[in-house]
Chain A
Amino acid sequence: MSGLQIAFLLIGAITLFAAVITVSSRKIMHAALWLILALGAVAAVFATLEAGFFAAIQIAIYVGAIAILIIFAVMLTRRAMEDSGPQLNSTWPAALVISAGVLTGLVILLSSWGGFETRSMALPPTGENIAALGTALVDMNGYVVPFEVASLLLIAALVGAIFVASEPKGK
């Protein structure tokens, strides 16, 4: 059991624990805070995968922006859900069964795949090459089209969100 394995087990346990409390917490604000912990721990998992850039970006975007957005939305809709009474749907046993079924199916499917137990690193890592990522995103034979479509998506989301969430103007 090397140090990295112990670290990954610990981080994985924290993530799953935080995720379970997120989906089963009674108060929605607590669920949002546990979600922040889960997202932060996923950033740590990214770091163990030697994708340091994505770890930093995960913290900056998810914890620094999306989580805060969720907390704002929780604050703005506070009167509705009084945080008491059942927080789960009437169909929650079926949901539990389906999730467990999906998990079992995934594990069985993956373990029957050949490369499941790929052990150590494929190649000695020469360090993360962010410049290559940047070049690939704007390369003509690369991924420039998805890049531009993603930026259009962001503009549409920006304008749409402002319009949808704005106060209805008086006549």
Chain B
Amino acid sequence: MTLWYEDPIKLIANWLFGLMLGWGMPVDTANFVLTLLGAAFLGVVPLLFCIFLIWYERKLLGRIQDRFGPNRVGPWGIFQPFADMLKIFIKEFITPQGADVVPYNLAPILSVASVLLIWAVVPFSMTMMGVNLNVGLSFIIGCGGLGLLAIILAGYGSNNKYALLGGMRAVAQLISYEVPMVMSLLVPVMLSGSLGVNDIVQKQTVPYIILAPVAALIFFITSVAESGRAPFDLVEAESEIVAGFNTEYSGLKFGFFFVAEFLHAFTISLLFSTLFLGGWRGPFTDQVPLLGFVYLVVKTFIVYFLVILFRGSLPRFRIDQMMDLNWKLLTPLSLVTLLITALLANPLSGMPLLQAVALFLVNLAALVVLMSWAERKMPRKRKIVAKTRPLATPNQQDQLSA
């Protein structure tokens, strides 16, 4: 008998199943309807949760910038996202003349869809997940590809050369940053021996951030770049080429892009906590599996806090600095991490403590070595154009004579 804290989803599903059989539906149809309901639930809940995320980010960003953030609309400004939503819903859809209708309208939908699809393979607790795909990580990489497609469709469909240019630049940045991301995603696969996300979580008796800190760092940086957030937000920042690929979008279509970006930031925090911080693992998850969900939410919010901290405190990258960072630092670093993990993980798999310590230290050593080598090879190109001028200080004699 499943108790409520063991598998709440299964309880609800069984009750609904019984209800539908009572109405006289054949078993196959009832199963199909249940699957559809599950998919709809998993698709709608993140979108509703995004309302809270928008408020959280704006408040936090405000506090980082030494101001209050929204505080007018309701206590602590919690109704601000509803006001935003209302405004966006009632704005007019202005379709530019000569725009290609199908790509123009498909792009926002695809943008949100590519983020929501990732939620289908993430394990929320020991018993709750969307689909237990055994190729979950390849699926996640494919969903990133769909997001790229959305940006290209938006840039092309707008019939606006600035949107096209912005879209092409965005895609160039995104496909560059996909390379170290995929390579750093291979490290948890190597350490756990499976592509399935649930397997990766279950094998993390020691969280992989200790066994592979460099891979975690690379995954974090490249995911932030992939989602187009600061400091990598060159392609859609306010002072850049108009507004990038979403220049010609207004109203709810722009709202979709907006929601997709916020949700993507939360999704990468979710992925990071699942793959590197141990997901739903924690004390007492054997007796009370629902506690795993709580642990996952706590870990995800910690990482999301870090992502917002990045946004609030780092200046924006230039496009050539971004490409330098990617191709000259992150890609060799991820290759070196792959090598280190491949060499050390398997022979030491019998002695978990030694494996953990050895991998950690060798990873850190590789990071330090590579970064100092990079500093030497690529010094910051700043020239000194003048000496610092001497400060004006009051003279002692002047004061006495005055």
Contacts and interface: CB of A to CB of B under 8 A. Distances in A.
Interface stretch (A64-72, A97-105, A107-115, A148-156): A64-72
A36 B149 contact: yes
B218 to A, nearest CB: 18
B138 A53 contact: yes
A68 B134 contact: no
Report whether over half of chain B's contact residues are helix, strand or loop; otherwise say mixed: helix
Contacts of A137: none
Nearest to B151: A68
A56 B156 CA distance: 26
A88 interface: no
B142 A130 contact: no
Nearest to B106: A33
A81 B149 CA distance: 23
Interface in B172-210: 175, 178, 193, 195
Interface in A137-158: none
Interface string A57-68: 101100111011
Contacts of A64: 141-142, 144-146, 148-149, 178
A52 interface: yes
Nearest to B140: A56
Interface residues of A, number: 22
Interface size class of B (residues with CB under 8 A): 20 to 34
A130 B146 contact: no
A59 B145 contact: yes
A33 B157 CA distance: 11
Contacts of A127: 134
B101 to A, nearest CB: 12
A68 B175 contact: yes
Given A52-B133, A67-B149, A130 B195 contact: yes
A75 B171 contact: no
A52 to B, nearest CB: 5
B162 interface: no
A19 interface: no
